[in-house]
Amino acid sequence: MRALLCAMILRAAAVTLGLALLGSTVSAADTEPETISAKDLAARLSAIWQDGASYVRLLLNVKQPPDTTKIALQIQIEERRTKEATDVIYQVLWPNERKGEAVLLRAPANRPPTGAHFMPPDKLRPLSSSQMNEFLFGSGLSHEDVIENFYAWEHQAIIGTSLSVASVA
C-alpha cells in the first residue's frame, strides 16, 4: 500500500510538471482551452519527457511507522531519456554519513532495466533483475518505478478536474 501511495505521488508530481511544460508551449493568444484525450495528453507528455535531460534536487522523507520520520535525505536526480535508452541516477547529498551514495539505473529500449548501487568510498553492488522491485533508499518507490515512463502506458485516463489560475504582473 505504501509503495502504491508513493508511486502515485511521484506520478502526480511528474504529471503536474509535464502539464506545466505543456502549458508553457501554448501562446498567450490562445484563449480557448483545448479539449484533449488522456491518450493524446500522455503521448504529448511522453514526447516532451523523452529526448531530454532533467535535473532535480529534493528532500525525501521516509516515514515508518506513520507520523515518525525514519530518514530524511536530500537527493539529486539526473535523467536522460531517449528512444534508445533511459538513464537515471539518484545520488544522496545529505546527511553527510550517506553523502555520495547513489543508484544508477539504465533501461535500454525493449530490454529489462539494469542498475547498480554505489556506497562510498568504493563499494559498487550490481542490482539483479529481482532487486529492481526493491525500494529505493528505504522509500516506497521501487527501482522500476523511477525508471519507468508511465506516460507511455497503453491505458491512460484523466481522472478529476483542476483549475489553474495564473496572474500576470
Residues of the chain with pLDDT under 50: 1-10, 12-13, 15-17, 19, 21-22, 24-29, 167-169
**Domain locations in the chain as residue ranges:** 2-26+35-152
pTM: 0.64
CATH 2.40.50.140 fits 2-26+35-152, yes or no: no
What are the phi and psi torsion angles at 167 (to 5°)? -115, 145
At residue 169, the pLDDT reads 44
Q: Name which of 127, 61, 122 is nearest 88 in CA terms.
A: 127
Mean pLDDT rounded to a whole number for the chain: 77
At residue 31, the pLDDT reads 59
37: number of Cβ within 10 Å = 11
Q: Cα dist. 56→39, 78, 88 in Å?
A: 27, 7, 11
At residue 101, the pLDDT reads 96
